[in-house]
Chain A
Amino acid sequence: MLEVLFIGLSLGSILLLVALGLAITYGAMGVINMAHGEMVMVGAYVTVLSGLWLGTNIFVAIPLAFIVTALLGLFIERIVVRKLYGRLLDTLLATWGVAILIQQAVRLEFGLSFFGIHIQGLGPGLQNVDVPGILQGTLHIAGADINRYRTFIILVTAVLTLATWFLLYRTVAGTQVRAIIRNPKMAAACGIDVDRVNALTFAFGSGLAGVAGVMMSGFKTVFPDMGTPMVVDGFMVVVMGGVGSLLGSVLSAGILGEINGVVAAGTNDILARAVVFGVVIAIIILKPKGLFALKGR
């Protein structure tokens, strides 16, 4: 049973890892970023490419992926998202287009494959990442076998969540972000540069997705379409937890992860996912604002 709960916890931490960035961009900026899953994918490819071309391991890839995806996020915000503030559903549609573009860019090796140039590590095929020996195998704790890599994921997620919490609740920039979550117009009237804060928030959220991608690459195959199901999962977590509530996202990721783990142990993975979707639907219907909604003003 302890092992099942542990698997649930690690599934939940993966969900949280993906959802953390979405929680910030959706909560703070009112942008449904469907390209978020592609940020995860790009993060995973950064791991693949840095391993192939620089010979570095997964630990180096974490900061690298954060920087690459944060810059990509900044770029997308400038070009597309900025023009769509206040049009929630349109952001969903436009970023879906962006997502396709990023996927195809990876699949076509930035268009170079048309000229017969191939970059090792890109293209439509599947890629694998070798995990350092330290993260392989299992630990024995209290009579249960605990997978080391899953433990690593849980730790990274915990660190990132704490960092995000600290940024949001203990820094000036975070206070500004929270002011924008509550009321963007009032925040602007108080002298907060909403455009700038939004752009940085979007970049930070994208960077978190990139780190999520690094963690994914350690136990999943890396391929251009890998991001799409993740954005759906991440989005469910955010909506269920309550828009703009970090605590809500943490708890709903944990709940959904455990449900997934326990049901999968009893039946199979497919039904477990179906049950998760069912729970999310029920919660949105019962509490449309999510489990931990902010009191709006």
Chain B
Amino acid sequence: MSSQRRIDWAIYAGFVILIMLVPLVMDPFWLNRIAKYLVFGMLGIAVALSWGYAGILNLGQGLFFGAGAYMLAMSLKLASATSLQQGSDRPVPDFMLWNAEPGAKTELCCITKASFLWLPFQSQWFGFAMGLILPVLMAVVVGLIVFRKRISGVFVSIIMLALVLLVRLVMIDAQPVTNGFNGLTDLGWFKIGDFEFDPYIVPTYYLIAGSLSVVLLAARLLIDTRAGVILQAVRNDENRARYLGFDVPAYQTFFFAVSAAIAGFAGMLYVIVSEFASPTFMDLSFSITMVVWAAVGGRASILGACIGAIAINMISATVSETEGFAEAWKAIIGLIFVLVVLYLPRGIAGLAHDLIDRVVARKTPRASPVLRVHDATSQLAE
């Protein structure tokens, strides 16, 4: 193990320990907020994987986040107390009553035209499974079509952007099944066995923090595998990788799907802590905001993007407490973003990497010439 890599893993470990210690110092209100930001950190990981490592700038990551969120939210909606009080012995979401077909029975099967789609969601684990399956399925279908046709760069971004806006409009239009603009609110709690994850208790925080740690480390391991290295080769020069005989679309689709799965998982966790799902998850600005987090943290660093997302949201939350400053903060974010793109294209993580490299190089003067060559190649690879 090279010393850079050792430092790298030490930083990852430090981060995991840090987020595990948060409940010792925070009250439940802040714990819930930080849990949300950790979820955004997970989105940062998803963006870094597809943008930094696969070279696919996905301007529609919100599609996968939203899909995951809605799938679990449908199950949790059926688990909420109000859904059981709608005059049927089995749960029916309250908004369906307001949109009911004239003369329809108050049953999930037929109360509105497409309400039967909700039937399997009476099982929470069906919703949970769909929260992973649906984003992956969408990513694979899009990936196979788009990457097989060798569409790349900005065109993929536009396709994803149009797709997320299309789905958002359809969701809004399908009011009787999705509650349209209002989204799904008044949800029940997520349950494992008999344990209920109230969003304001410490175990829920650990559910989120633990999930984030697992995803973070898994993503880090994944990019060190052979597939991960080939993927980075594809990002750097697609044609060369193709000439070398690699099935480029397969690698791109695989990592696109992994990124989608992470985003979908993040969507589900977000529903658990925030107790709602809404079409705003599929707004253009949300999808671009995720990219902003990753860019500020460092698009080519899994942990950097994750920390970028958490840090920006933490600072926003603190700053927005001051009345009237929230809008100014938005302007500052805009400014930071312009400056990062112009002067710090590798983000905070890139800056940190350079600092670490310098320290390491100073500590081991004998090895430095070799190290410098190694640095240069690894920078080229980035």
Chain A residues in contact with chain B, CB under 8 A?
32, 80, 83-84, 88-90, 92-94, 96-101, 104-105, 107-108, 111, 114, 124, 228-229, 232, 235-236, 239, 268, 270-271, 273-274, 277-278, 280-281, 284-285, 288
Contact = CB atoms under 8 A, between A and B. Distances in A.
Contacts, number: 112
Interface string B291-310: 11001000000000000000
B334 A97 contact: yes
Given A101-B335, A107-B327, A285-B149, A239 B158 contact: yes
Interface residues of B, number: 40
Contacts of A92: 57, 154, 157
Contacts of B345: 90
B165 interface: yes
A268 B345 CA distance: 43
Contact of B334 (A99, A268, A271, A280): A99
B59 to A, nearest CB: 8
A290 B236 CA distance: 25
A232 B333 CA distance: 21
25 contacts: A80-B338, A92-B57, A92-B154, A93-B291, A93-B341, A94-B338, A94-B341, A96-B292, A97-B341, A100-B330, A100-B331, A100-B333, A100-B334, A100-B337, A107-B327, A114-B324, A235-B158, A268-B173, A270-B172, A270-B173, A271-B173, A274-B166, A277-B166, A280-B162, A284-B151
Interface string B302-340: 000000000000000000000010011011011111100
B288 interface: yes
A275 to B, nearest CB: 9
Nearest to B180: A270
B268 interface: no
Given A94-B337, A235-B158, A268-B173, A105 B166 contact: no
Interface SS of chain A:
helix
A22 to B, nearest CB: 12
Nearest to B145: A285
A97 B172 CA distance: 28
Nearest to B59: A92
B153 A89 contact: yes
B57 A274 contact: no
Given A93-B291, A100-B330, A274-B169, A284 B337 contact: no
A163 B17 CA distance: 63
B173 A88 contact: no
A232 B284 contact: yes
* Top-6 shortest CB links A-B: A100-B334, A97-B337, A104-B331, A97-B338, A277-B166, A94-B341
Interface SS of chain B:
helix
A100 B285 CA distance: 10
Contacts of A93: 291-292, 295, 337, 341
Contacts of A83: 342
A273 B169 contact: yes
Interface in B162-205: 162-163, 165-166, 169-170, 172-173
B166 A278 contact: yes
Contacts of B157: 89, 92
Interface string B5-28: 000000000000000000000000
Q: Name the residue in B151, B157, B173 with the highest tally of chain A Cβ atoms < 10 Å from its Cβ.
A: B173
Contacts of A90: 341, 345
B159 A281 contact: yes
Contacts of B342: 80, 83-84, 94
Contacts of A278: 166
A229 B285 CA distance: 10
A88 B170 CA distance: 30
Given A114-B324, A239-B155, A277-B163, A89 B57 contact: yes
Given A94-B342, A277-B165, A101 B331 contact: yes
A117 B292 CA distance: 32
B173 A274 contact: yes
Interface in B137-161: 145-146, 149, 151, 153-155, 157-159, 161
